């Protein structure tokens, strides 16, 4: 599936925003009075951060590949 650079850039921006919000959520939950009570939520948020970070890396690679293709035309 092919995407335009503008679509990839917007997707990356949205994912970066979600990662930021998830990191803030983890910080908040970890500083609660009894963080063990939120262990599953913290774990889920961290796993989502990892998954979204992989997505960002792949999007960045695709953007770089598109830029290289444009330069070689």
pLDDT tens string 16-64: 999 999 999 999 999 999 999 999 999 999 999 999 999 999 999 999 9
pLDDT of residue 45: 98
Show the CA angle centred on residue 14, arms to residues 25 and 6, nearest 5°. Answer: 165
On whether the CB atoms of residues 42 and 29 are closer than 8 A, the answer is yes
pTM value? 0.90
For 49, how many CA atoms within 13 A lie in the half-sphere containing its CB? 15
Residue 1: band (very low, low, confident or very high) from pLDDT cuts 50, 70, 90 = confident
Q: What share of the chain is helix, strand, coil (3-state, %, to 5)?
A: 85, 0, 15
């Amino acid at each position: 599936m092919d995407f335009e650079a503008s679509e990839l850039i917007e997707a990356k921006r949205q994912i970066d925003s979600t990662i930021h919000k998830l990191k803030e959520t983890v910080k908040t939950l970890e500083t609660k009075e009894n963080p063990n009570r939120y262990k599953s939520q913290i774990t889920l948020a961290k796993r989502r951060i990892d998954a979204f970070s992989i997505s960002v890396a792949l999007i960045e690679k695709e953007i770089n590949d598109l830029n290289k293709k444009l330069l070689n035309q």
